[in-house]
Amino acid sequence: MNDSKLEIKTAMQIQKPSSEVFEAIVDPEKMSNYFISESTGRMEEGKTLEWKFPEFDIVFPVRIGKIEKDKYISYYWDSEDGKELLVEMLLTSGENNSTILTITEKSMENNEAGIKWLMGNSAGWANFLACLKAYLEFGINLRKGGFDFMKGRI
């Protein structure tokens, strides 16, 4: 990364094997327990999907990039200004059959719009990781009702 570009990078350890973490991300039925409300399909290389979130009345197009079973997921989605951004998820085996999930989203210009994106999406990815961990480890949907106050804002 250079000074003119901004990117997000965050990680969390989840007490589940990489195969379970991977499936929770690529399987829309599982993903609807912590992130989206609907998807037009499973994440597979080359597919373009539409995701709907419980608190928004619009769909978000998602173009799937490279998928490496139990190890790596990438996709592209649009920022608020219509720029296509790359999201990469790296699954690394940790101690005691756990998985370290590292998420990178890139990139935006280092300007006011980019800083706004950085702040919002950094919080969003931290929330994604916490919700995924709560779902996989405890069967809890942290997202349910958590963002109802945002309905109608986008």
Give me the pLDDT at residue 146, please.
66
How does pLDDT run across 54-100, given as a tens digit for each residue? 877 788 999 999 999 999 999 999 877 778 999 999 999 999 999 99
Give the pLDDT confidence score for residue 148 in this predicted structure: 65
The residue ranges of every structural domain in the chain are 5-146
Beta bridge partners of 23: none
Q: How confident is the model at residue 147 (pLDDT cuts 50, 70, 90)?
A: low
Q: Is the per-residue pLDDT at 1 higher than 50?
A: no
Q: d(Cα 34, Cα 7) in Å, to the nearest integer?
A: 24
Q: Which CATH class is domain 5-146?
A: alpha beta
Percent of the chain with pLDDT over 70: 92
Q: What are phi and psi of 71, to 5 degrees?
A: -130, -40
pLDDT of residue 42: 98
CA distance 123 to 10: 10
Q: Which residues, listed in sequence order, are joined to residue 6 by a DSSP beta bridge?
A: 108
